[in-house]
Amino acid sequence: MIIEYINQDCSMTLEEGLEEYYRSNIPEVKQYADKTSLLVDHDLTHVIFGLGTSIEEESLLDTWTLRGTDITWKQIYNYTFDYEFKKLIKSIVKDEGGWFKLIGVVIKCMPRKLKIHFNRIPKMKKKWPFSNVTKDMMTRPINELRKEYGIEVISY
C-alpha cells in the first residue's frame, strides 16, 4: 500500500490523511482512537509530521511532539496514564520484542531525532496545535498546513 500523507507535498486534506493513516495500520489503532480524543490528537501528529507507526517513527514523533507542538505537561501526563494508551503501549512492546529491543531502536534513531530537534523544529513558523485542530484545518490540504507551520518532514 502506498501511503501518501508521508510525502511533503501531499495534497490530501488532513481528514483524508487521518483516514489513510487508520487504513494503513492495524485495526486496533482506530479502535483505540475511537475511545479517547487523546489518541486522535496523537494520530493527527503522525499525519502532519509525515510518520507511520513503526517504533522508529514513534520515537521520531516524540521529538516532533515535545518541541514542535503546543502540548502541555498536563496533557503529557494525561496521555501517559490514559488507560487505552497504556493498553496500546503494552501490546506494542510485546509485539516488538520487549523493552530492551525498543531502547535499542530509540538509540539507533538518535541521529534523525537530533536532525529534527536542531534542524527541522527551529525552522517551524509556529507550533502545531496538539489538541486544538479545528474543523477548518481538517478540510485543508496537508501540504498547505505544512507550509503554514513550516513543517518539513524527515525522509525515512
pLDDT attached to residue 38: 77
Rg of the chain over Cα atoms, rounded to whole angstroms, equals 15
More confident residue, 26 or 118: 118
Are 6 and 156 in contact by the 8 Å Cβ rule? The answer is yes
Are 59 and 106 in contact by the 8 Å Cβ rule? The answer is yes
Q: Per-residue pLDDT tens for 73-102?
A: 998 988 788 777 777 777 777 776 777 787
**Domain residue ranges of the chain, discontinuous segments joined by +:** 14-149
Assess whether pLDDT exceeds 90 at residue 133: yes
